Amino acid sequence: MSEPTAAVNQARLLEMMTAFKSTYLLRAAIRLRVFDALAVAPCDPDDVAAILRTNPRATRILLRALTAAGLLRMEGEQFTLPEGVRELLVTTSPQYCGGIAEVAASDWEWDALRDLDEVVRHGSSRMERNAESADFPYWVDFATHLTFATRPGAQFLAESTVAWAKARGSLDVLDVGCGHGLFGFAIAEGDPRAQVTCLDWPDVLDVARRHADRLGVGERVRYLPGDAFAVDLDGEYDVIVLGNFLFQFPVRRCIELVRRLAGRLKPGGRVVIAGFTTGDRPPAQDYHAHLLNLLMLAWTTQGELHSPDMYRKILAAAGLGGVEVAERPGLPFRFITGESV
């Protein structure tokens, strides 16, 4: 049974219709580094314009809009940072997360979704270059700018994997569609035996390599460029990770890939699927997953988020057993594990 929803009224509809303006207001401020300009002392619009080398009139309009959105404080003509902004939106802060806007507010997503009505009429992406293309630029941005869930999700996967691998004589990891690579790198941080192979398109692997070096695990990582469905997998592995990857494909293609990967597992090895799921809870509980599902509809030929039960079937069809589903409160995705038998 569906959960009760909030009443639909004019205010709620107007908020949805104008949400994109707030998105681009925030993104512009991040790109201009408005919050950095105000991090030292209160400033008036002319001061901020001089620091940023922007138009004074346009800067005044932007600062007042940011104040209306609650991202700045205004006293007279002096602007300051409210609580939370210094920590989250000033680039020198260890908690800085402004770069996520390049992913969460990506032009690539806007271009895919702005004609969503036509996508629904036709049933698949209308883009000439979509998420399945080898040179799709979004994946470089996705690998570069880590989301709020990236590090906690990688840590959760690493904790369970390192504990499981204690009784094994090796820990060779293949991270398929690795993107940023942090799922595999977190395992390497947690177990000095771990050797990680990152598989993705060449330009994405360039970003993953920088993350590996920054985390101090680069010497235990090798890079495998190419298509996961066709490239020579070059070895056998204790753990194969599929992080936020399979929802780009229909079930039959998922089975094809997981079966291929399962053939590269060492005895008792495991495949771990990490990602958003839908289908087993009321949609309101998985709001962001359903929005991601719309993006996959607009961004791929036949991609779609799958349910935990469907992932169980995919793993079973690939000959894997002992399937388990795990999640951690506060993380938006699940971890579905199957082991070779």
- The pLDDT tens digits for 165-194 are 999 999 999 999 999 999 999 999 999 999
Per-residue confidence at 79, pLDDT binned at 50, 70, 90?
A: very high
For the chain, percent of residues with pLDDT exceeding 70: 99
DSSP state of 198: E
Give yes or no for residue 2 having a pLDDT over 70. Answer: no
**Strand 265-275 with 237-243, pairing:** parallel
Structural contact between residues 312 and 336, judged by C-beta atoms closer than 8 angstroms: yes
Structural contact between residues 186 and 158, judged by C-beta atoms closer than 8 angstroms: yes
Average pLDDT, the chain: 95
Q: What is the mean pLDDT of residues 188-206?
A: 97
Q: What is the mean pLDDT of residues 59-74?
A: 98
- pLDDT given at position 72: 98
- pLDDT given at position 224: 97
- pLDDT given at position 135: 86
- Give the DSSP letter string of 217-257: -GGGEEEEES-TTTS---S-EEEEEEES-GGGS-HHHHHHH
pLDDT digits (tens, 9 = 90+) for 11-57: 999 999 999 999 999 999 999 999 999 999 999 999 999 999 999 99
Per-residue confidence at 7, pLDDT binned at 50, 70, 90?
A: confident
- pLDDT given at position 272: 98
Give yes or no for residue 128 having a pLDDT over 90. Answer: no
Instruction: Delineate the domains of the chain, giving CATH numbers in brackets.
Output: 10-96 (1.10.10.10), 138-340 (3.40.50.150)
- pLDDT given at position 341: 81
Structural contact between residues 289 and 277, judged by C-beta atoms closer than 8 angstroms: yes
Q: What is the mean pLDDT of residues 98-127?
A: 93
Structural contact between residues 323 and 337, judged by C-beta atoms closer than 8 angstroms: yes
Residue 184 exposed, middle or buried by CB count within 10 Å (0-12, 13-18, 19+):
buried
- pLDDT given at position 76: 94
Q: What CA–CA distances, in Å, run from 70 to 73, 241, 313?
A: 7, 40, 47
- Cα dihedral 271→277→278→282 (10° resolution): 120
Classify 5 as helix, strand or coil: coil
Q: What is the mean pLDDT of residues 123-142?
A: 90
Residue 195 exposed, middle or buried by CB count within 10 Å (0-12, 13-18, 19+):
buried
Residue 8 exposed, middle or buried by CB count within 10 Å (0-12, 13-18, 19+):
exposed
In 3D space, the residue among 141, 139, 154, 59 whose CA is nearest the CA of residue 99 turns out to be: 141
Q: What is the mean pLDDT of residues 233-248?
A: 96
Which residues have C-beta within 8 Å of that of residue 250, sequence separation ≥ 6?
302, 303, 304
In 3D space, the residue among 307, 305, 304 whose CA is nearest the CA of residue 125 turns out to be: 304
- pLDDT given at position 216: 97
Give yes or no for residue 3 having a pLDDT over 70. Answer: no
- pLDDT given at position 139: 94
The C-alpha atoms of residue 204 and residue 177 are separated, in whole angstroms, by 9
- pLDDT given at position 279: 92
Q: What is the mean pLDDT of residues 54-67?
A: 98
- pLDDT given at position 129: 86
Q: Which amino acid is at 120?
A: V
The C-alpha atoms of residue 230 and residue 226 are separated, in whole angstroms, by 8
The C-alpha atoms of residue 309 and residue 313 are separated, in whole angstroms, by 6
For the chain, percent of residues with pLDDT exceeding 90: 92
